[in-house]
Amino acid sequence: MEKKRTSLELLQAELPPTQEEQVAVNPPLQKRHLGSAEPRIKRARLTRQNLAEFNKMSKKNPDPISDSRSTTVRPTSTITSGFADKARRSGILDPRSSKPPKNLNDIRKRWRLLKEYNVDDDYDQVYNQDCNGLPEDLGFKYGLSTLQPDFVEGLEKEEFRPFPVDEYVPGAALYQNDPHSITLPQIAGEWPGNMREATIQSACSGAAMVYARSQALSYMGEEDPSGYASVTTFTTDGTSLNLYAHYATPVEDDESRVEYHQYLISSTNLTSTYQGHKDGRRGLRNAQDYANDQSEQLRDQLKQYWKQNRSKLPSVAVGVYSLEVEPRPHAMEGDEDASPHVL
C-alpha cells in the first residue's frame, strides 16, 4: 500500500526541468538598464498545468505548411454520389449543358471518317434500314433474314429517270414504294461492335450489291471482267477498320451457280497512332469516291442504253398498263389500276 501511494505522489509531483526545457521556457534575462520602466519578466514554472497551456497556445496558430494534410478537405471521387453537382458548382459543364465551339465544323471535318456528298446530287446515305426491296428469290439468300446494313450509300431512284430501273433490274432499288430509294449502291458498311458479326453481315450486303450490279449489266448485255471487283464494304468497331472487295465467279462444277467473294483489301488500326487514323480515313474516303464514280457510270450507261433501245423494248414492265392502254374490258369493280404513271 505504501508503494502505491509513493508512486502516485511521484506522478503528481512537479517534474524537475531539463536544461533544454529551462532554456526554452525561461530564456536568459536581459539586464535592465537603470531607470528602465519595463517590468521584470516572471519565469513560468515547468508544471503539468503550464505544459498543457503551452500546448493549447501552439494549436491556435498552426503552421499552414506542416499542418496542410490535416486541414485539407477530402476530395470527392468521380464515382461518389453528388460528384456531378459538385463539378457543376465548380463550373465544369457536362455535354448536355455545354455549347458547341465556334470551330465545330472544322473539327468535324478533321475527324469525320465518312465523306459527305452534296445533297443536291441525290447521292444519299441511309443507316440501319431493312432492304425490303430485294427479291425473295435471290440465289444467295437461302432463308437468310432481310438485309439491314448499318450504312449504305448510293444514288436515289429519281436519278435514273426516265429509265424505270426497278422494273428492269431485279434488286436495284433497296426499299419498296420509295421514289427516293437507294438504287444500285456500290458501297456499304457495318459497325455492330462484334467484328466477326460485322464481317458476316458485310459479306451478305456485298453479295446483294454484286447481284444487282450483275443484273444491271446483264440487262445491257454486258458483264464485268472475270474476277473484277467494283463493290466495296467496310467494317469497324471504332478501333479497327477493314475494307473488302466483292465480286462473283461461277462455281467450277456448276456454272449455273455463282459464288460471292469477299476479299480483305486493308486493315487499319485507327487508335494506335494519328497516322493510322489518317490512313484509315483516307482509305475509306477513297473507297467512297470510287463507289460514287461506279454508281454514276452505271446510271449513265443504263439511261443511255434505255434511250437508244426504248423503241425495241416493251414500254413498261410485264403486267403493267401504259398510259395509253385502257384496262381490260372485263375488269371488275374493285380491281386495282396498276398503271405506273398514277402519282
Most confident of the following: 24-28, 191-195, 272-276: 272-276
Q: Taking the C-alpha atoms of 138, 141, 144 and 149 in order, what is their torsion angle to the nearest 10 degrees?
A: -80
Which pLDDT value is given to residue 147? 85
| SS3 assignment, position 320 | coil
Q: For residue 147, give the nearest of 194, 207, 192, 193 by alpha carbon.
A: 207
Which pLDDT value is given to residue 187? 96
pLDDT above 90 covers what percent of the chain? 32
The whole-model pTM stands at: 0.60
Strand partners, 155: 123, 183
Helix or strand run (H / E) with residue 281: helix 274-309
Which residues neighbour 53 within 8 Å (Cβ) at sequence distance 6 or greater?
A: none
d(CA 240, CA 280): 9
Most confident of the following: 33-47, 63-77, 256-270, 284-298: 284-298
What DSSP designation does 46 have?
Answer: -
Domain-located, residue 101: yes
Residue 236 identity (one-letter amino acid): T
Which pLDDT value is given to residue 133? 83
d(CA 173, CA 185): 9
Residues of the domain holding 105: 75-310
Q: For residue 185, give the nearest of 218, 161, 143, 157 by alpha carbon.
A: 157
The mean pLDDT of the chain is: 74
Predicted confidence (pLDDT) per residue in 43-78, tens digit: 666 677 777 777 777 665 555 544 545 555 566 554
Domain-located, residue 49: no
CA dist 292 → 100, 131, 251, 257, 289 (Å): 32, 20, 30, 29, 5
Strand partners, 262: 246
- The total of structural domains in the chain comes to 1
What DSSP designation does 173 have?
Answer: B
Which pLDDT value is given to residue 219? 94
d(CA 80, CA 83): 6
Which pLDDT value is given to residue 321? 32
Predicted confidence (pLDDT) per residue in 209-242, tens digit: 999 999 999 999 999 988 889 999 999 998 999 9
Domain-located, residue 189: yes
Domain-located, residue 26: no
Which residues neighbour 67 within 8 Å (Cβ) at sequence distance 6 or greater?
A: none
pLDDT band at 192 (very low <50, low <70, confident <90, very high): confident
pLDDT-wise least confident of 20-34, 55-69, 241-255, 290-304: 20-34
d(CA 114, CA 118): 13
d(CA 154, CA 131): 13
- Average pLDDT for 144-168: 90
Q: For residue 137, give the nearest of 66, 21, 233, 215 by alpha carbon.
A: 215
Nine-digit cell at 104? Answer: 465545330
Is residue 336 over pLDDT 60?
A: no
Length of the chain counted residue by residue:
343
pLDDT-wise least confident of 1-10, 137-146, 295-304, 321-330: 321-330
Establish how many alpha carbons lie within 13 A of residue 320's alpha carbon, considering only the half-sphere containing its beta carbon. 14
Domain-located, residue 108: yes
CA dist 23 → 53, 57, 59, 324 (Å): 18, 18, 21, 125
Phi then psi for residue 189, to 5 deg, are -145, 160
Give the residue with greater pLDDT, 261 vs 79.
Answer: 261
CA dist 255 → 152, 169, 206, 250 (Å): 30, 22, 21, 5
- Burial readout 148-164 (b: 16 or more C-beta within 10 A, e: otherwise): bbbbbbbbbbebbeebb
DSSP string for 214-270: HHHHHHTT--PPTT---EEEEEE-SSEEEEEEEEEEE-SS-TTSEEEEEEEEEEEES
d(CA 231, CA 247): 7
